[in-house]
A and B are shown apart, each in its own frame.
Chain A
Amino acid sequence: MTSSHRPHVDLHSALRLRVEGLCVERGESRVIENLGFVLAGGETLKVTGPNGAGKSTLLRALAGLLPRGAGLVALEGAGEEDVAQQTHYLAHADGLKAQLTVAENLAFWADYLSAEGPAPNFPARDVSVAAALANVGLAHVAGAPVAILSAGQKRRVALARLMVAFRPLWLLDEPLTGLDSASREKFALAMRDHCALGGMIVAATHEPLGFDETRELRLGKKLKVAAS
């Protein structure tokens, strides 16, 4: 993914993800307690921690897919109060329909996720379906039904979804699962490009993301914030 053909807009100062006193409960137990951080535009936050530490819970709560017990999650400077509509959420379930072709799946999400147009403060930076597929190296299977793709290829289609509709905040849950090293490099480029445009990434992963400029949030039994 290259940014050379797109207008470079400096959103670093404009955008800010503010999380204050976030508490999330699952069932009876409180998984996340009193968590707070501020992420500025262009920054990447890597969420680490052992299995069951609450990484996925944190991402779902940030996206608003889980009810937040208490606390504040706000995306400042995006022109809209609602974080959900400014967010790409990528998890194990990739939102792809096995019966539809790769291109049909992507075209649907491109249409649906940007149905109301980009947020007022952002110039349109959506990439076409064909270009997004080329970015993840899947142009040759555009017409194939998703059912016949391998797990890694499906993951790459899901990554292409992040590009077809621009959203400033990417919440990625184990984004590198099933990717080969070439795809990892391509995706690292795409993430760096997104940050260069002023976007933000919160990624829960056990593996290195492929670029250094990340802050780290370590979740454990006792939650601590470790910012570099």
Chain B
Amino acid sequence: MTSAFLTVYLREIRIARRLGGSGSMGVVFFLTLVTITPFAVGPDPNLLARIGPAMLWISALLASLLGLDRLFQADAEDGSLDQFHLSHTPLELAVLAKCAAHWTTAGLPLALASPLFGLMLQQDGAALFGVVASLLAGTPALTLIGAIGAAATVTLRRGGLLMALLVLPLAIPVLIFGVSAANAAAGGTVPFLTPFSILCAISLVALALCPFAAAAALRQI
């Protein structure tokens, strides 16, 4: 079981590396969104410092949707998905491995790049820590929730937009507690651990439920 998970995980990582795309593309998109924020709201340092964590989280949320629509689509088109159905290994495990690989190549780089981009939004050390920690804890949930949308829209040619419409409402709790954790770290009335624990709990619940939901959707095609 573990070996099947690792097999799929390593294959996906290898494909992502050869593609040389989606991971770095997400980070560049993230950077673009962060860069245009001061142009929209004005270069007031106090304002940027206050809305910075929220902007970073919104940007990361949108960037994490990039490439997610292809999570199962490529496999459906080339017949790999049929083979996954025929294996001893449960489809849920393959879904989980694909999500883990997608997070490694797309979600993790966002979290790691966020302190750099946070500097552009006038964030201090504590706030940067809050953003990185909350993104590390929250992006797995974004990937896993996105996997449900990706699985539900796998047969649609232009499923990306529909997937975003399906996924974004489900991602609202992650956004709420992610931003409040980041704000709390920057100095607020709530202790950092309160929203952060809830954020971790959301990720764990997503980890437990989403692979089953996505696999169930994939079985319907």
A residues lining the B interface (CB < 8 Å): 63-65, 84-85, 87-89, 91-97, 99-100, 104, 108-109, 111-113, 115-116, 145
Please indicate the chain B residues that have their CB under 8 angstroms from the CB of A115 in the complex: 1, 3-4, 7, 87-89
Question: In the complex, A95→B7 CA distance in Å?
Answer: 15
Most A CB within 10 A of own CB, among B7, B78, B86? B86
Please indicate the chain A residues that have their CB under 8 angstroms from the CB of B7 in the complex: 108, 111-112, 115
Question: In the complex, A64→B1 CA distance in Å?
Answer: 22
Our pick among A64, A99, A100, A109 for the contact of B83 (Cβ within 8 Å) is A109
Q: Is the CB of B15 within 8 A of A89?
A: no
Q: Is the CB of A99 within 8 A of B18?
A: yes
Question: In the complex, A111→B80 CA distance in Å?
Answer: 14
Question: In the complex, A108→B6 CA distance in Å?
Answer: 10
Question: In the complex, A152→B7 CA distance in Å?
Answer: 27
Please indicate the chain B residues that have their CB under 8 angstroms from the CB of A95 in the complex: 78-80, 82-83
Q: Is the CB of A93 within 8 A of B77?
A: yes
* A-contact 0/1 string along B88-124, CB 8 Å cutoff: 1100000000000000000000000000000000000
Question: In the complex, A92→B77 CA distance in Å?
Answer: 10
Q: Which 7 A-B pairs have the closest CB atoms?
A: A93-B79, A116-B88, A115-B4, A99-B18, A95-B79, A111-B7, A95-B80
**Shortest Cβ gap from B43 to chain A (Å):** 43
Please indicate the chain A residues that have their CB under 8 angstroms from the CB of B88 in the complex: 85, 113, 115-116
A and B contact pairs by CB, cutoff 8 A, 19 listed: A64-B85, A85-B86, A85-B88, A87-B86, A89-B83, A89-B86, A92-B79, A94-B78, A94-B79, A95-B79, A97-B78, A99-B18, A111-B4, A112-B4, A112-B89, A115-B87, A115-B88, A115-B89, A116-B1
Q: Does any Cβ of A come within 8 Å of B207's Cβ? A: no
Q: Does any Cβ of A come within 8 Å of B41's Cβ? A: no
Please indicate the chain B residues that have their CB under 8 angstroms from the CB of A64 in the complex: 85-86
Please indicate the chain A residues that have their CB under 8 angstroms from the CB of B87 in the complex: 85, 112-113, 115
| B168-209 CB contacts (< 8 Å) to partner A | none
Q: Is the CB of B82 within 8 A of A65?
A: yes
**Shortest Cβ gap from B203 to chain A (Å):** 27
| B11-35 CB contacts (< 8 Å) to partner A | 11, 14-15, 18-19
**Shortest Cβ gap from A225 to chain B (Å):** 26
Q: Does any Cβ of A come within 8 Å of B49's Cβ? A: no
Please indicate the chain A residues that have their CB under 8 angstroms from the CB of B8 in the complex: 112
Question: In the complex, A194→B88 CA distance in Å?
Answer: 21
A111-B4, A112-B4, A115-B4 in contact; A89/B18 too (CB < 8 A)?
Answer: no
